[in-house]
Amino acid sequence: MTRASSRRPGPPTRTERGIPEATVARLPVYLRALTALSDSGIATASSEDLATAAGVNSAKLRKDLSYLGSYGTRGVGYDVEYLRYQIAREIGVTQDWAVVIVGIGNLGHALANYSGFGTRGFRIVALLDADPNLIGERIGDMEVRDFAELEDIVKADRVSIGVITTPAGPAQGVCDRLVAAGVTSILNFAPVVLSVPTGVDIRKVDLSIELQILAYHEQRKSGEAALPQVPELPAMNGLTDLPSVGGGVGA
Amino acid sequence: MTRASSRRPGPPTRTERGIPEATVARLPVYLRALTALSDSGIATASSEDLATAAGVNSAKLRKDLSYLGSYGTRGVGYDVEYLRYQIAREIGVTQDWAVVIVGIGNLGHALANYSGFGTRGFRIVALLDADPNLIGERIGDMEVRDFAELEDIVKADRVSIGVITTPAGPAQGVCDRLVAAGVTSILNFAPVVLSVPTGVDIRKVDLSIELQILAYHEQRKSGEAALPQVPELPAMNGLTDLPSVGGGVGA
DNA sequence: CCGATTTTGTTCTCACGTTCACAAGCTCCT
DNA sequence: AGGAGCTTGTGAACGTGAGAACAAAATCGG
């Protein structure tokens, strides 16, 4: 098991019909921008308009869209509804995907209530937890069920996407169970690196990593001139007062 | 303030002392891996060990670390505690960063309770919301305060990082207020593209985008042979639930 | 019907990121 | 002390992504 990562059979990274991964990651953004335009009653938009709404530059947007086909009209722009449907179809959200959420703590709770979740394309079919105290609790119009029922639920509802919102500890175990039950896409909120067999896609959302990236840049801003000369080789003996980072290190 | 000093002076993307953005994004992962090893009582680790723990390959890890300096010992590996401190210092989490969370809905609630948040390096100094019904509510050892107090809080606690967990609507307004108050790094959970002036860093976490990316790959898996020939110009009549798709642009 | 105008789709070039492969350097054993 | 065996740090090759620039195609006005 744990047979290497997921995507990399022989050739490099290239989706079957050739849509680059970077583009795939932006399609949902375009989809949202188009929905917003549509809601504003706008029927046609140029690549420039769309790019602004999506927060990218227009050349990139045009190139991204060109991977899907030629859905625009030169001299005019894109028909908002039409393009929206094409992107939705390409992503696969014209159908509904069944989702289970495992781990109903604070975050699991929040996600279960998150309306924008089922905006379109996704349907939460079960909230699971192993804690007997939580089982049976109602959240919105759903009830927390026993994690032991996982296999039945996955089979019954053809669940292909699992969301892990457990603490770090049980995450790998939960992940293994999900995969064994037949789930082939996992969204992981637990702060651990999960390993999955080939063929299973996994994406990670990690709050503290995001904050740390911000901190890095923040530090650069404030200390622009204060830390150009980094102590390349600080005395190793100074490490004794580093029982735990942040313990006695703080400025 | 807001001295247009962030990233993009003249040359392309290149952090002042030259750490590539992709590497910066992985440093927190290494930091976590090192902490885990440290907690297991492991004092020394090779690049191979670390890479496994962090879920990357060893060559990449070594190159990433080489940007920070030569902190390893050939033939031996890396001293876990030493390297951990070096990375923590580089990221900037040896000091504590003050953080405010704006928007105490489901997600804001969850984040406020998220212990791993203040794991180290970050300190939530205020939970803010504009809803009078929420103000005064206690969450953990904190109390929800009026968003109007933002400026005072930012000044008093030297807040440099703001987390936006409001709905999409008010997000840009909140963002502008944060920036005006002096916040220079923003983590946005609202499903909108925020615009900020130069010098302010912004990162986005978007649940539905992540799910959609998974859906895209999922679709490719199930239909491996079912949809190789994509209807470049599908018959527009099959789209009953798409009121005005393709006014006249379609086939 | 033709030319001016607009905007897409695409080509080309350059920068960035990843991986390979190996020399440099350290430790340990004989 | 010297050589064998590891493991790091890095130079070079390769692949991917971004942006500029332009040719192709559509509309509109005369």
B223 inside domain = no
Same domain? A117 vs A179: yes
Same-domain status, B109 and B128:
yes
The confidence band for A227, taking pLDDT boundaries of 50, 70 and 90, is very low
The model's pLDDT over B29-73, given as tens digits with 9 standing for 90+, comes to 999 999 999 999 999 999 999 999 999 999 999 999 999 999 999
- Which residue, A30, A55, A90, sits at the end of a domain? A90
Residues A37 and A132 in one domain: no
| Residue A224 falls inside a structural domain | no
Our count of domains for chain A comes to 2
pLDDT of residue B18: 82
The owner of tokens 């963002």 is B175
Contacts A–B by Cβ distance under 8 A = 252
Final residue of a structural domain among B42, B70, B89: B89
- Does residue B220 have a pLDDT over 70? yes
Residues A71 and A134 grouped into a single domain: no
Residue B63 Cβ < 7 Å to strand C = yes
pLDDT grade for B231, boundaries at 50, 70 and 90:
very low
User: Which pLDDT score, from 0 to 100, does residue A174 have?
Assistant: 98
Binding residues of B: 103-108
Looking at the structure, do residues B105 and B186 belong to the same domain, yes or no? Answer: yes
Whether pLDDT at A145 is above 80? yes
Identify the band that residue A222 occupies on the pLDDT scale cut at 50, 70 and 90. confident
CATH value at residue A77: 1.10.10.10
Pair (B122, B66) in one structural domain: no
- How confident is the model over A78-130, as pLDDT tens digits? 999 999 999 999 999 999 999 999 999 999 999 999 876 656 899 999 999 99
> Residue B36: CB partners within 8 Å, gap ≥ 6?
B53
pLDDT value of residue A117: 64
Q: Are residues A45 and A63 in the same domain?
A: yes
What number is the average pLDDT over the span A225-249? 36
Check residue B22 and give its pLDDT.
98
Instruction: Report the residue of B104, B212, B213, B218 to disrupt the A interface, i.e. the one with the largest count of A CBs within 10 Å.
Output: B212
From chain A residues 183-222, the ones with a CB under 8 A of any chain B CB are 184-187, 191, 193, 195, 199, 201, 203, 205-222
Residue B58 lies in a domain: yes
B236 or A87, higher pLDDT: A87
- Which of B95, B203, B228 is facing A251, going by the closest CB pair? B95
The tokens for A231 are 């102590």
Q: Does B65 contact strand D, using a CB cutoff of 7 Å? A: yes
Q: Where are the alpha helices (DSSP H) in chain A?
A: 21-39, 47-54, 58-66, 80-91, 106-113, 150-157, 168-181, 207-222
In a domain, A242, yes or no: no
Write out pLDDT tens, residues A187-213: 999 999 999 999 999 999 999 999 999
Share of chain B above pLDDT 70, in %: 80
Q: Please say which residue of A60, A75, A90 terminates a domain.
A: A90
A15 has a chain B CB within 8 A of its CB: yes
Q: Cβ–Cβ of B216/A29 closer than 8 Å?
A: no
Q: Is residue B42 part of a domain?
A: yes
Nucleotide showing the shortest C1' distance to residue A58 CA: D19
Q: Does the residue A69 lie in any domain?
A: yes
Q: Which domain holds residue B40?
A: 21-89
**What burial letters (b/e) apply to B46-77, b meaning 16+ CB within 10 Å?**
bbebbbbbbbbeeeebbebbeebeebbeeeeb
pLDDT tens digit sequence for A47-58: 999 999 999 999
**Pair B120, B47 in one domain:** no
- If one compares A237 and B123, the residue with the highest pLDDT of the two is B123
Would you place residue A247 in the very low, low, confident or very high pLDDT band (cuts 50, 70, 90)?
Answer: very low
Residue A17 has a pLDDT of 59
Instruction: With respect to residue A78, please indicate whether it lies within any of the assigned structural domains.
Output: yes
Question: What is the CATH number for B150?
Answer: 3.40.50.720
Residue B103 sits in the same domain as residue B195: yes
Please indicate, yes or no, whether residues A54 and A131 belong to a single structural domain of this protein: no
Closest CA to B179 of B196, B167, B204: B196
Q: How confident is the model at residue B228 (pLDDT cuts 50, 70, 90)?
A: very low
Residue A183: closest CA among B183, B181, B102, B222: B222
